[in-house]
Amino acid sequence: MQAADSTCHACDVTDEIRESDTRRARLWRFAESRHVPLRAILAFVGVVVLAYLAGKLVDRLRGVLLLFVVAGFIALLLNPVVVTLQRGLRRRGLAVTLVALLSVAAFAGLAVAFGYPLINGLSHLADYLPNAVTTAEHGKGWFGKLVTKYHLQQWVTKNAPKLVVYGKDLAAPALSLGEGAASIAFELFTIFVLVVLLLLEGPRLRRGLLGLMRPSRAARFMLVASEVNRSVTGFMLGDFATSVIAGLVVLVTLLALGVQFPFLWALWVALVDFLPMIGGALAGIPVVLFAAAHSVWPAGIVTLVVFLVYTQVENHVLNPVIMSRTVKISPLLVLVAILVGASIGSWIGGLFGGFVAALLAIPVAGAMQVIVREVWQATASPAERAANGTAQAPAGALQEATDVVEPEVAGSAAAPAAGSATLTD
């Protein structure tokens, strides 16, 4: 027995000697003898290489990442509707199907509402432009009088053939936009499929993620996630309400003034007004110009006054009232988030990416504000928590969330297959 122990000890010593004599061990010892932090240098080089490869991968997949971000954001907004319907239908699949059908119907309605006036306007412009050029050359009509007043007859005569050809090209826009329309249709279909899959598999993914954590950490994660969800959905619902009000105000104003395409311009204002702070100005400029082209007085002046008044009412009355229960974000943070988000989005996905990133900038800033606050409170000392009065309330909420997480995680581990029929949010 003693001989066997001696043999094992000798084997261990031999292994240690062999390991200490490897090239790597000799390299470490040589670097330490020369006071060279070789391990730190190699770790830094590895981090730089991994960051470079990750950046190249993101740049390669930026289109796909943009689609995933848009789909995830839409799924986050539609999830409360799915949960509400699920309580009555008792099946999440049916609730997701109904929400998907309603979303497709709403999108089709918006496409028709935008597409028909746009195509109709292009057709009218294509028919009107050659006659307008002819009358302008002879100094007739309001455009001809304008040309005569500012001495533009020579320019009109020189560019008349180009204007006529341009008008004919407008009559067949589908030939030049066919490829782009097919690409947009494919991207929209991809987003739709991703949204449906995220709504169906979201609860299962959440339970799987919570199952990998300790109950206390899972409860903390649920608290932060629920607060982020409330902040994002609350902000977007409030923004949706103000956008609808802005569209209705523009619709009533243009109908009263007799301006053409009032429904189209109302939808334009409602969609662009989603952009916080700058959306109203971006939406109002083309509407005011179009109304002024109809008639400077009263259409142009009245539309301008309505936009100025409504912008002040929205910023100082509607936003504080409608968004009083959402996360409070300073105007400086809002502006910085929009500028940074639009810049990153335009780099990733061009004009569409910039618009989407500017739209998502404020909810992301609100979510980061919640996460930073939770991390700050979690790393505070007990004395600091007691001084700020944040020690008791989170503890009670954390215990309540722990009581919810433990049976949920246990149920998902015991019956993962049966749980898909009775998913709960």
SS3 content of the chain, % helix, strand, coil (to 5): 90, 0, 10
| pLDDT, tens only, 197-256 | 999 998 888 888 888 888 888 888 888 888 777 777 777 777 888 888 899 999 999 999
Q: C-alpha distances in angstroms, 128 versus 108, 134, 168, 255?
A: 29, 10, 10, 24
Write down the pLDDT at residue 53: 94
Q: How far is residue 347 CA from its own chain's centroid?
A: 15
The pLDDT assigned to 336 comes to 79
Q: What is the mean pLDDT of the chain?
A: 74
Name which residue leads in pLDDT, 179 or 118. 118
Residue predicted with more confidence, 385 or 184: 184
At 36, the pLDDT band (50, 70, 90 cuts) reads confident
When pLDDT is cut at 50, 70 and 90, the band that residue 10 belongs to is very low
Tokens of 85: 């319907």
**How confident is the model over 43-79, as pLDDT tens digits?**
999 999 999 999 888 888 877 888 888 888 888 888 8
What would the pLDDT profile of 265-308 be if each residue is shown by its tens digit? 888 888 888 776 677 778 888 889 888 887 878 888 999 999 88
The pLDDT score that the predictor gives to residue 305 is 92
Cα 80 from chain centre: 17
Confidence of residue 380 (pLDDT cuts 50, 70, 90): confident
Joined together, the tokens standing for residue 120 give 């109709």
Query: In this model, does residue 121 exceed pLDDT 70?
Result: no
Note the pLDDT of residue 128.
65
Number of Cβ atoms within 10 Å of the Cβ of 27: 11
DSSP class per residue in 311-374: HHHIIIIIHHHHTTTS----HHHHHHHHHHHHHHHHHHHHHHHHHHHHHHHHHHHHHHHHHHHH
